């Protein structure tokens, strides 16, 4: 099974969000790379985010998860799993 | 909590605000940023000094969109701010497109977000404890904001406890005879005051003690921040006025409490609430002789009468030497329930007789050790 981000708007936003905050590789947000992602990888990333945010761990993009992703928040990554969180300071 | 993995190797850090937001007065920004640093300095050995120019450890900037670090801001909502861990320089950037506010339920509270970001600047990652400051989501303005234990544990895992209380047992966890040791080894206090209910408290560093007639009550010390939510440690002075409100002073700010509940939006500036009184006072009290408030700093004192205009007469400040036998550079002043006025300095105290208007001549003479006579050491 594969997950094609461009098919569903909420899913696209979720992929962007999960990549931005360290739950998925940053390459997933590159529009030129044409990355496909397994459904398992997406489910695991959603589960990890749900666990961290104190939500019910369903692995699905349920309403609670989507709403949490819309909350104003800090831009620093929650997880540093894919590469080093090394934005250059100056 | 989660630690990023790096921390500052120096304790005395500097910062500057090199780019201010569009929608807040500079003075407000300065104050909120200072407060945000203070919540971390209050529970660690760290200090934060503001500089206006030159190199600093932590640079604070309000930016729009792409701003040079490869992590552009996204306009109102969404990402509010981000900061760099110590290894990457510690800078904190705030999205200038947000509506930054002070003491308001509207917009986004600058103090709370800044406090969070400075946690990153000091080496903390996001916590999965939802009530922690270091949780990644903004939870709205909290007028009684205080750090969660998770935040305290995190930052103290990196930098340890404040110098004065280093290596002491956590009082609420380990009550026992050891608790008195800090006050008995060095009876210097930050302040002493009577509550509206007639209880006398001694404050020192982050802790406080409830005094009994000749000693301290069992179960103390306790953490000031636990009992007076929102109040920092290392208080300069405190008193309870005849309106039943207790006022606490520290640096340029003061807080007002009814009992142990903060009365609305504090801290406020001493210069606003107590016109004519300087910052960084040494001691304060309500004197039984006339019910007026007296502030002490260095070799001077000020008399403050809230019912008069101006509340401080032009003839003030006056020399503390007018109070015969009372030294300069006091730590605390207290009008006690027995009618005497007591002055404290470096672990010793002086009993001032309001009728003779001088320190009593007694045997043993004053000053006497406060540890023995006040704290039951």
CA distance readout (Å), B123 to A77, B26, B36, B118: 13, 27, 15, 9
Task: Band the pLDDT of A88: cuts 50, 70, 90.
Answer: very low
User: Measured between beta carbons, which residues in chain A are less than 8 angstroms from residue B137?
Assistant: 53, 68, 71-74
> What is the model's pLDDT at position B338?
84
User: pLDDT per residue over A29-52, tens digit each?
Assistant: 665 666 667 888 899 999 999 999
For residue B44, what are its two tokens? 């660690």
Beta bridge partners of B293: B286, B304
* B89 interfaces chain A, CB cutoff of 8 Å: yes
Q: Name which of B154-158, B213-217, B239-243, B364-368 the model is least confident about.
A: B213-217
pLDDT band at A8 (very low <50, low <70, confident <90, very high): low
> What would the two tokens of residue B188 be?
């210097």
The Cα–Cα gap between B348 and B332 comes to 10
Whether B117 is catalytic: yes
The per-residue pLDDT of chain A, averaged, comes to 78
Q: What is the pLDDT of residues B277-316, one digit of tens each?
A: 999 999 999 998 788 999 999 999 999 999 898 999 999 9
CA-based nearest distance A36→chain B, Å: 24
User: Which chain B residues touch A70 with a CB distance below 8 Å?
Assistant: 77
- pLDDT of B173 > 60? The answer is no
pLDDT reading at B97 higher than 70:
yes
3-state secondary structure of B375: helix
* pLDDT tens-digit map of B198-256: 899 999 998 999 998 778 887 788 889 889 999 999 999 999 998 889 999 999 999 99
Stronger pLDDT, B376 or B304, i.e. the higher one: B304
Give me chain B's average pLDDT, please: 90
Amino acid A35: pLDDT: 64
> Does this complex have an ipTM over 0.95?
no
pLDDT at B362 over 50: yes
Nearest-Cα residue of chain A relative to residue B133: A74
Q: Please tell me the distance in Å from B94's CA to the nearest CA on chain A.
A: 10
| Secondary structure (3-state) at B9 | coil
Inter-chain touch B138–A53, beta carbons under 8 Å = no
Chain B's closest residue to A17, CA to CA, is B78
Local confidence band at B164 (pLDDT 50, 70, 90 cut-offs) = low
């Amino acid at each position: 099974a594969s997950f094609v981000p461009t098919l569903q708007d909420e899913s696209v936003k979720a992929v962007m969000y999960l990549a931005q905050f360290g739950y998925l590789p940053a390459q997933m947000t590159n529009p030129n790379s044409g990355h496909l992602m397994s459904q398992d990888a997406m489910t695991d990333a959603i589960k990890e985010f749900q666990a961290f945010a104190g939500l019910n761990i369903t692995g699905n993009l349920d309403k609670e998860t989507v709403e949490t992703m819309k909350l104003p928040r800090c831009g620093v990554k929650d997880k540093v799993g894919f590469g080093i969180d090394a934005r250059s300071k100056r | 909590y989660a630690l990023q993995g790096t921390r500052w190797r120096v304790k005395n850090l500097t910062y500057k605000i090199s780019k201010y937001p569009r929608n807040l007065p500079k003075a407000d920004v300065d104050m909120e940023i200072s407060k945000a640093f203070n919540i971390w300095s209050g529970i660690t050995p760290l200090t934060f000094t503001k500089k206006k120019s030159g190199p600093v450890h932590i640079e604070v900037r309000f930016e729009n969109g792409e701003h040079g670090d490869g992590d552009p801001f996204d306009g109102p909502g969404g990402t509010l701010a981000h900061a760099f861990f110590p290894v990457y320089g510690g800078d904190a950037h705030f999205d200038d497109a947000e509506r930054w506010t002070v003491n308001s339920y509207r917009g986004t509270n600058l103090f709370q977000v800044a406090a969070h970001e400075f946690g990153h600047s000091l080496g903390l990652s996001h916590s999965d404890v939802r009530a922690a400051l270091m949780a990644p989501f903004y939870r709205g303005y909290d007028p009684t904001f205080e750090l969660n234990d998770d935040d305290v544990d995190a930052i103290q895992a990196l930098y340890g406890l404040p110098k004065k209380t280093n290596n002491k047992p956590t009082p609420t966890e380990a009550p026992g005879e050891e608790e008195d040791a800090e006050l008995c080894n060095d009876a210097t206090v930050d302040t002493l005051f009577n509550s509206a209910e007639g209880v006398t408290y001694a404050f020192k560093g982050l802790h406080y003690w409830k005094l009994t007639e000749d000693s301290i009550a069992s179960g103390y010390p306790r953490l000031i921040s636990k009992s007076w939510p929102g109040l920092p440690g290392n208080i300069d002075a405190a008193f309870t006025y005849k309106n039943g409100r207790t006022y606490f002073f520290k640096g340029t700010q003061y807080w007002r409490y009814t009992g142990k509940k903060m009365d609305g939006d504090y801290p406020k500036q001493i210069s606003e609430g107590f016109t004519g009184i300087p910052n960084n006072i040494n001691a304060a009290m309500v004197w039984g002789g006339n019910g007026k408030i007296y502030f002490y700093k260095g070799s001077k004192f000020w008399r403050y009468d809230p019912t008069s205009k101006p509340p401080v007469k032009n003839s003030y400040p006056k020399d503390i030497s007018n109070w015969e036998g009372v030294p300069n550079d006091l730590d605390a002043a207290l009008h006690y329930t027995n009618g005497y006025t007591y002055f404290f300095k470096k672990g010793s105290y002086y009993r001032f007789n309001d009728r003779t208007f001088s320190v009593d001549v007694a045997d043993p003479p004053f000053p006497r050790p406060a540890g023995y006579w006040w704290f039951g050491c």
